[in-house]
Structure 1
Amino acid sequence: MAENLFDLTGQLALITGASRGLGQYFGRALARAGADLIITSRKKADLAPFVTEIEALGRKAHPLELDVRDHESILTMSAAAEQIGQVHILVNNAGCNVRKPAVDVTWDDYNLILETNLRGSFFVAQQIAKQMIPHRYGRIVNIGSVTSVFGFAGLAPYTASRGGIRQLTMSLADEWGRDGITVNCLAPGWFQTAQNKVLYENQEWVDYLVDRIPLKRPGEPHDLDGAVVFLASEASRYITGQTLLVDGGISTGATRATVQLASKS
C-alpha cells in the first residue's frame, strides 16, 4: 500500500471539458497530487494556455479534441488517449446548461443538455472503461451537481441530466467493480462558473442563496480540490457508487422550521 494514499505520481488522468471553469481546477488539483493529464475540449486550440500552466507545475498535459455529443469524436479521442498511455483516472466533467422556465424549454434545449451531460458522460466512460478493464484498475469520477439530489425551478432538463448521472454512477459502479474500477459522483453545490456568472451579479439573489447555505457562502473552486483527489486516489479504494456532495450543506434542505436564533459567542 502506498505510504501517501493521496499521491497520484505516475498516474494519467483524463479530464473532459478542461478549457475553462471547474475542469481546469480539477486538472490543477490532480496535477499537484502528481498526475499527468489528458485534457479535452471541443477546440484543441482553446487548451493551449492550460497546457502551459500544467507544464509549469512540472507535469505533462496532452490536449485532445472532443465533442461529447458526437460519438465518432468520442471514439477518436479514446483511441488517441490509449496511444498516450494507460488512463488511470477519468473525470467526466464536460457539461452545459440552459436556464429557462419549464414551459419555455424547447426540444433542442432539452436534447442539448441531456446529450452533453448524460449521454456524453456515459459513452466517454464506456470507452475509457474498455481501456481500464484489462489493467483491472480505474477511477471514474462523474461530475454531478447538488441538482443530482435536489430540485430547483428553472433547471428541469439540467436536474434530469444530473439526477441521471447519479443513477448512472451507481449502475456502472456495480458493473465494473469486479474489474477493479470505482465509479463515483462528485456533486458540487452552488459555485460561480462561466455558465452561471450572470446570476452572481444579482446581489439580492446571492443573499438569498447564502441564507440557504449552512456555511453561509457559495463554493470556491478550491473547495473541490480535496474531493476530486480523494475520489481519484487509493484513499477511496473501497468507495464506489457514491455521490459526494460538496455544497456547503445546502442539500440539508436549508428550510427553517423555527425562528433563526443568533449564534452565541
Structure 2
Amino acid sequence: MIKSRRKLWLFVGLFFSVIILLTLLVAPSRNQLMSGSTFGVAPDGYAAWYEFMQERNAPIERWQKSFKTLQQNYSDNSITLLRVYGKSAQFAVSKTEREWVKKGNTLVNLAFQGRVTEAPFSTSHETDFGAVKIETTRRNTDSFKAILKDDFGAIIWQEKQSEGKIIYVTTPYLAANAYKLSPGNYDFLANLLESSGGNKILVDEYIHGYKDKETQEIEETSNVFAYLLNTTLLIILIQGLVIVLILIFVYNNTLEKKKI
C-alpha cells in the first residue's frame, strides 16, 4: 500500500516536472522581454531614449494593449507605431497591419533585418542630426526608398503603402541605451518618428509582455482558452501522455488491490 502510494507520487512529481521544464523552455526569458523595451535600463533597452523624447515634449506614450485594440481605439489614422524587437524576436508585417498602414498610419520596425553584407560592422554616417553610429553588417539592396544608406545598401528604408508607410531599420539598437553618448542616434530616430506625419507616437510595449491593468483583466478571464490556443501541439501531446500514464498506473494499482 505504502509502496504504491510512493509510485503514484513519483508519477505526479514527474508530471509537474515535465510541465515546469516545458514552460521554462518555451517561455521567453526576462532579458528577451526587456531587450528593446523603454522599461529596459540595460545597454539594449530604450529607457534613456524614451526619457529623451519626453524631455523634448514629443507626443509619445507607451502602448500596452494588443494591436487589435489599437485599431479600435484610434480611428483618425495619424498614428506612428514604433516597434523595437529584441535579441531573438522574429517579426513579419501581417496583412492586417498593412491594411492599417494604408489608411494613413506609419509603422516603424527596428529589428535584425536585411541581408548580411561585407559592410564593416561598425560605421558612422553623417546626417542633418549629427553622426549616426550603426553596428551591423546588414543592408537592404532591394529597390525601396532609402532613408539612410551607404555603398553596401540601405540601412533604413521605407515602403509606401497607399496613404501610409512602413519604415524598416536593420538594427534594433539604433537608439538603445548603449548609444546615449551618441546624440546623433537619438535625434535621428526622434526626427524619423516626428516627421512621419502622425499626431501621436506610440511605442509598442505589448510585444515585450507589458500589459496595462485593463488588458490583464480581460486576458485573465480567458487564460485557459488562450493557453490551449497558444500551446504547441507537441506540448499538449506530452502533457496528455503523462496524464494517461498516471491514469493507467492508478487503474492497474486498483485492480491489483481488488485481486488481493
Scaled by the length of structure 1, the TM-score of the pair is 0.36
Name whichever structure is richer in helix by fraction: 1
Larger RCO (alpha carbons 8 Å, 6+ apart): 2
Name whichever structure is richer in strand by fraction: 2
Scaled by the length of structure 2, the TM-score of the pair is 0.36
